[in-house]
Amino acid sequence: MPKISDTLWELASAEVQSREDGTGGEEDGGVDPGSLNERTVFFIGNKAGGKTTILLRCLDRDEPPKPTLALEYTFGRRARGHNTPKDIAHLWELGGGTSLSDLVQIPITAQNVRSLSVVLVLDLSKPNALWGTMERLLQTTRTQVEKACSKPQRTLESKAGSKQQAQNRPLMVLPKDHPDRELINPFPVPLVIIGSKFDIFQDFDSEKRKVICKTLRFISHYYAASLIFTSSKSESLMSKTKSLFTQLGFGTEKGKSMSSDLSKPLIIPAGMDSLSQIGSPPTTDVDIGTLHAKNPLDLWKKVFEVVFPPENTSDHHRELKDPAKDPQYSEPQIDSMRAQKDTELDQYKRNASKSWKGLELET
């Protein structure tokens, strides 16, 4: 029991020490760490692809979405029952598409990696940027996840969070007798791929829709991810998306919705697809033998990029090395003042140069 003479700092120090020692708990009036459930969900994807809109809708927040400034954090809470601690979902969103992918090291740490899930939002209305965005972001995220997993965990976290970590560890979602078990490369943490803006995508040519659908089915199955198509203009699709989100963020029961009909929005939970059901890459105008692919993933990439040539983003990435020049981060008043100060600095440099040239150095 704390003494009346204890200061706030002394109480806080004692609490931290008890947590580090693993001695704090219900016996001395504390909260049992095992009763708390905190998870982290990291949203990545296309710039202006609908990540913020989806996140706000999943949290039932009625507010207009704003452009994400580099990396943003929010959280959600959900009660499991009466008089029980609320579960907490730590929610991170990476802005800027692939241009700021180096920031993944901030939300993915050794402390949260075992309770981490990743949501990749791909803009179905921009198929030419789809593969490049997916490839770059998943590669960067995977590297950081593996780096975080290689770091030792603190003693308390391994004790108090053992139950939570066991539930959230990367799982082989395929049964042992699944024929594709040795042919896929599961992502190291739970992964959900969301195809956004289905309302625009559904008006695409049927053959193009087929290529995109089959390709995303293959990618999702290859990484043992769940796949869902959604649209902010469809309450039904957003409801199914929210259900999947609460599963990741709060550990609710898995949904049973399933739809692999290419003429409808796809909803395929992880482990429910197969390479035989997906079929071969749609190669109407392509001779697979001429593509020289190194592996199945590379083959699907080459076929996809024949139909949807990738955008040339090298110049765009070079321009966005300085986020201050990215129009999505514009602040009119600040930008105006910055421009004024830049002008004053240029004028000062010119005047200083003239004054130095006019000096007669003594010999």
| pLDDT recorded at residue 326 | 65
148 vs 71, 76, 188, 223, CA distance in Å? 19, 24, 11, 19
* Contact of 193 with 141, CB cutoff 8 Å: no
Mean pLDDT (whole number) for 336-360: 78
Compute the Cα dihedral for 213, 180, 146, 295 and give only its sign. negative
Query: Would you place residue 345 in the very low, low, confident or very high pLDDT band (cuts 50, 70, 90)?
Result: confident
- In the structure encoding, which two tokens stand for residue 316, read together? 């765009």
SS3 79: strand
pLDDT top residue among 150 and 8: 150
* Contact of 190 with 248, CB cutoff 8 Å: yes
Compute the Cα dihedral for 226, 229, 232, 234 and give only its sign. negative
The pLDDT tens digits of the residues spanning 99-120 come to 888 899 999 999 999 999 999 9
| pLDDT recorded at residue 231 | 95
* Contact of 120 with 134, CB cutoff 8 Å: yes
Longest dimension (CA), the chain: 91
Mean pLDDT (whole number) for 16-26: 52
The pLDDT tens digits of the residues spanning 164-223 come to 444 344 445 677 778 888 889 999 999 999 999 999 999 999 999 999 999 999 999 999
Q: What is the pTM of this model?
A: 0.75
Compute the Cα dihedral for 85, 94, 204, 65 and give only its sign. positive
Mean pLDDT (whole number) for 229-243: 94
Pairwise CA distance, residues 256 & 261, whole Å: 16
Mean pLDDT (whole number) for 303-324: 69
Whether the predicted pLDDT of 356 surpasses 70:
no
Whether the predicted pLDDT of 67 surpasses 50:
yes
**Average predicted confidence (pLDDT) for the chain:** 81
